[in-house]
Structures are given as structure tokens and as C-alpha cells.
């Protein structure tokens, strides 16, 4: 925290950055703050570092190839931090770095590059931070789903308080590894995955609430909807969340993708092609959660935990 706090002590423009090391991707953002703590994003990037690749097959050991990808990404991000003259930054780690048996050694490598320790966030930390950034932007009762590679976090509440938080072991990469190793999953693979996701969601015993706003994140979901042709309806929400869609529209895309291999699906989302490798599994999660909550509409979000971290830090000072 000490790295960030000094940002807000200045009356002129200051710059801060977040490096977020996730199971599949490492996300990076540089923001500039004015004296009123209004933020402007100067630079954003993400790299497919797959630090959590094949942990189930490697006895929870992060493989060297993934470490090499991580090192390459971090060196690039640190160069940007120097170029933009960032005064303060924070490095966070999530699912894979919490889980891996060799995380201590990997964290040591990361620290040598970033020149500061990595904060390992718990699932609860991640859920609270992401929910708060969404709740700061949307009114009313919310169900916020952060669909990750290793897990899915569902947080229910509103601007004033969080009512409940739920963790599902149904992340897209986890499902991909658990149900079929082929780059063209069979119908049986998909049926088994659907059954598993719905079973895990049923254990949450969620109350149906047709008035709740279901938010599907994070990072690139508005872009995903637009580029893949999911029908969007303009709504009078906010600048950050101007659209909604129906779960039926997501299912149309799901069935459209089924005849294609993962590699072929990449063409549906040119700006972030690798997202398509887990798009079908993400849709499974969203549809199953909406079914359990009794809602038909989905609000896509491009916001992510990095936005939440910056907002959370601003609020605390």
C-alpha cells in the first residue's frame, strides 16, 4: 500500500499503475490522476501468459514456458512504467500464484523484475474489489460475475453493502482441462461441462430475483459481445455500462461456435482472439447463474479488478 498512497499527496497530475497477474492473462494499466482524483487511462495492455497452464497435470507446478512468458510480459510493462514516468505502482497475483507449489520461486523472479513484492489477493479480496467498482457505477441490486480462468466469483449486493459472495470452481480454463482435451470438444464433453456447471451453481441455493441486474465481466465483455455479433440493446444505465443483452443471444453464439475448433473460433473476436478458447465455457457460467437467479438479461462490462483496485485505493485515502 505504501507504493500507492503517495500518489494522492500531490496537487498536480500524478501517475499510477497496476500489474495484475491472473491464471490466463497478465493485465496492465497506467492511470493519471488530477487534484480531484479524477482518473484518465493513459495505457492499457494484456498478455496471454497462462501462468496457470496445466497445473492439474503438473502437480501444481508452474511450468518454465509460462514463467518465461511472464518474465517477458513484466519486462515490457516495467519499460512502460519508466517511459510514462509512473510514480507508483502495485503488483497483484491471483489464482495460479496462490495455488502453485513453486509460487515462492516464481514470486522471487517476479520481484526481481518489478522491484517490489507481489500482493497475493484472496478470492474474497478479488470479489469485493471488483463488485465495488461495478456498484460505484450501477444502482440497484446487483449480481456481479467475474468469469476467470481458474474460478468464477459471484457477488450479490448493492452500493451500500455486499449481501453474499460465492466462489465457483468453474473457470473457463479449469473446465477446458476437466472436460475434454481436444481442440474440438465433443457433444458429450460439452454436455458433461454443462451438467457440472449447473450442479455447482445449484449448490449456491440462490434466491430468484427478477429485478436484480446481472453483470458479466470482466475486462473485455462489451467488446466480445460487439465483435461476435451478440445482439445488444442500448439502455439508460451509465457510460461504462450502456448495454444489455438476453441470455438467449449468448446461447445463439454458443451454438454457432460448436462446429469450430478453438483455433477457428479465434476469428470471431479479432481484437482478442484467445478469449474465444474459453468463450463457450464463459457462456455456460453466465447462463447457469442467470437461470438460478431467474433473470434473462445480462449487462456486459469492460471494467476489471485493476479498475477496482485503483478506485479502492482512492477511496481509502
Question: So what's the pLDDT on residue 313?
Answer: 58
Which residues have CB under 8 Å from 109's CB, separation 6+?
67, 70, 71
pLDDT in tens, 240-297: 999 999 999 999 999 999 999 999 999 999 999 989 999 999 999 999 999 999 999 9
Question: So what's the pLDDT on residue 84?
Answer: 94
| pLDDT score of 108 more than 70 | yes
**106: Cα separation from own chain's centroid:** 22
CA distance 169 to 175: 9
Q: How confident is the model at residue 113 (pLDDT cuts 50, 70, 90)?
A: very high
Question: So what's the pLDDT on residue 69?
Answer: 96
Instruction: Work out the mean pLDDT of the chain and round it to a whole number.
Output: 89
Which residues have CB under 8 Å from 154's CB, separation 6+?
127, 143, 144, 145, 165, 166, 168, 204, 289
CA distance 188 to 190: 5
pLDDT in tens, 59-96: 999 999 999 999 999 999 999 999 999 888 899 998 78
CA distance 5 to 94: 22
* pTM of the model as a whole: 0.81
Q: For residues 113-127, give the mean pLDDT.
A: 91
Contact 246, 298 (CB under 8 A): yes
CA distance 206 to 293: 6
Select the more confidently predicted residue: 164 or 86: 164
| pLDDT score of 10 more than 80 | no
Which domains does the chain show, CATH number per domain?
2-121 (3.30.420.40), 126-303 (3.30.420.150)
Q: For residues 91-104, give the mean pLDDT.
A: 89
CA distances from 136 to 44, 88, 161, 247, 305 (A): 21, 24, 11, 24, 13
Query: What is the secondary structure of 30-51 as a DSSP string?
Result: EEEE-TT--EEEEEEEEEE--T
Query: What is the secondary structure of 50-91 as a DSSP string?
Result: -TTTTTTTTTS---HHHHHHHHHHHHHHHHHHHHTT-SEEEE
Select the more confidently predicted residue: 148 or 61: 61
CA distance 156 to 142: 6
Which of 143-152, 280-289, 297-306 has maximum average pLDDT? Answer: 280-289
Among 37-41, 231-235, 292-296, the least confident range: 37-41
Helix (H, G, I), strand (E, B) or coil at 269: coil
What 8-state DSSP symbol labels residue 290? H
pLDDT exceeding 70 applies to what percent of the chain?
A: 93
Amino acid at each position: 500500500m505504501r507504493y500507492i498512497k503517495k500518489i494522492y499527496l500531490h496537487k498536480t497530475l500524478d501517475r499510477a499503475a497496476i500489474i495484475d497477474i491472473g491464471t490466463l492473462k497478465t493485465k496492465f494499466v497506467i492511470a493519471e490522476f488530477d487534484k480531484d482524483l479524477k482518473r484518465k487511462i493513459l495505457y492499457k495492455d494484456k498478455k496471454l501468459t497462462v501462468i496457470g497452464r496445466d497445473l492439474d497435470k503438473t502437480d501444481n507446478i508452474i511450468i518454465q514456458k509460462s514463467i518465461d512468458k511472464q518474465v517477458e510480459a513484466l519486462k515490457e510493462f516495467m519499460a512502460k512504467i519508466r517511459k510514462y514516468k509512473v510514480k507508483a505502482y502495485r503488483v497483484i497475483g491471483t489464482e495460479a500464484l496462490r495455488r502453485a507449489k513453486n509460487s515462492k520461486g516464481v514470486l522471487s523472479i517476479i520481484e526481481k523484475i518489478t522491484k517490489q513484492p507481489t500482493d497475493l489477493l484472496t478470492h474474497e479480496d478479488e470479489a469485493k474489489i471488483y463488485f465495488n467498482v461495478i456498484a460505484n457505477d450501477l444502482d440497484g441490486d446487483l449480481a456481479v460475475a467475474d468469469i476467470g480462468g481458474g474460478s468464477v466469483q459471484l457477488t450479490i449486493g448493492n452500493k451500500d453493502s455486499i449481501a453474499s459472495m460465492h466462489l465457483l470452481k468453474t473457470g473457463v480454463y479449469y473446465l477446458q482441462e476437466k472436460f475434454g482435451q481436444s481442440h474440438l470438444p465433443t457433444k458429450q464433453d460439452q454436455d458433461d461441462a454443462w451438467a457440472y456447471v449447473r450442479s455447482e451453481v445449484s449448490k449456491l441455493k440462490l434466491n430468484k430475483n427478477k429485478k436484480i441486474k446481472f453483470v458479466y465481466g470482466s475486462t473485455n465483455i462489451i467488446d466480445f459481445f460487439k465483435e461476435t455479433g451478440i445482439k445488444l440493446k442500448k439502455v439508460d444505465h451509465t457510460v461504462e455500462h450502456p448495454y444489455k443483452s438476453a441470455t438467449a443471444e449468448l446461447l445463439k453464439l454458443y451454438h454457432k461456435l460448436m462446429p469450430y475448433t478453438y483455433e477457428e473460433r479465434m476469428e470471431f473476436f479479432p481484437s482478442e482472439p484467445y478469449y474465444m478458447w474459453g468463450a463457450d465455457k464463459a457462456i455456460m457460467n453466465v447462463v447457469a447463474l442467470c437461470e438460478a437467479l431467474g433473470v434473462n438479461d445480462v449487462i456486459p462490462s469492460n471494467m476489471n479488478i485493476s479498475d477496482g483496485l485503483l478506485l479502492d485505493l482512492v477511496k481509502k485515502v
